[in-house]
């Protein structure tokens, strides 16, 4: 029933593929050449056939499909569930109890590599990074110095330092290494 509703809601804008479980999703990913977005149910399988949690599935999909935007779909808009999903690598979180437009916005955000957290899960969202901050954080993760990043992006060293200070503050990171670790944990960078 949920998949039918998702297909109906998103089918006019997106090509929708369905999978029974995460293994079938990985197989479909391989067969189709990849997905822009994957929607993952956070609840365990109600039939008891699958003992893997939704956050474990998000981690597995993030590892197998690093360029795919993952949307965590939960029964209720619980802050802790949203935080866990984002920490596991989801870009977006939305509750089934929210209006259909929230799911559409979550999918569109994940397709654009942007974060989205259902407003009903108030307080769950980590501070979102700008596109430039994510770009700089990825280059830091790749081992580039501030000077190398500035040269590569055509920016001044001071501008890169300013963006770096901003991303540290938004992530609540102590230093650049901590920011990289948080960025990877949140799925903001690879």
Give the start-to-end residue ranges of the domains of the chain. 2-121, 131-185
**CATH code for the structural domain at 2-121:** 3.40.50.2300
Residue 161 vs residue 130, higher pLDDT:
161
Residue, of 29 and 145, whose pLDDT is higher: 145
Burial class (CB in 10 A: 0-12, 13-18, 19+), 16: middle
Q: Is the pLDDT of residue 6 over 90?
A: no
Per-residue pLDDT at 186 exceeds 80: no
Q: What is the mean pLDDT of residues 166-186?
A: 83
Tell me which fold the domain 131-185 belongs to: Arc Repressor Mutant, subunit A (1.10.10)
| Predicted confidence (pLDDT) at residue 187 exceeds the cutoff of 90 | no
CB 90 within 8 A of CB 40: yes
Give the three-class secondary structure for 80.
Answer: helix
Alpha helices by DSSP H, listed for 43-98, are 54-64, 79-88
């Amino acid at each position: 029933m949920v998949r039918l509703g998702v297909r109906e809601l998103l089918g006019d804008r997106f090509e929708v593929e369905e999978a029974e479980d995460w293994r079938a999703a990985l197989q479909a990913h391989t067969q189709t050449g990849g997905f822009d977005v994957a929607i993952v149910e956070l609840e365990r399988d109600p039939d008891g056939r699958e003992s893997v949690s939704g956050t474990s599935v998000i981690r597995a999909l993030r590892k197998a499909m690093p360029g795919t935007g993952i949307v965590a779909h939960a029964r209720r808009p619980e802050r802790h569930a949203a935080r866990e999903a984002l920490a596991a690598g989801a870009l977006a979180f939305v509750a089934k109890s929210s209006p259909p437009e929230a799911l559409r916005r979550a999918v569109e955000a994940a397709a654009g590599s942007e974060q989205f957290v259902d407003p009903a899960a108030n307080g769950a969202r980590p501070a979102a990074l700008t596109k430039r901050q994510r770009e700089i954080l990825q280059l830091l993760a790749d081992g580039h110095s501030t000077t190398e990043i500035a040269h590569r992006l055509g920016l001044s060293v001071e501008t890169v330092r300013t963006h770096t200070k901003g991303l540290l503050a938004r992530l609540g990171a102590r230093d650049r290494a901590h920011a990289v670790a948080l960025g990877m944990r949140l799925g903001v960078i690879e």
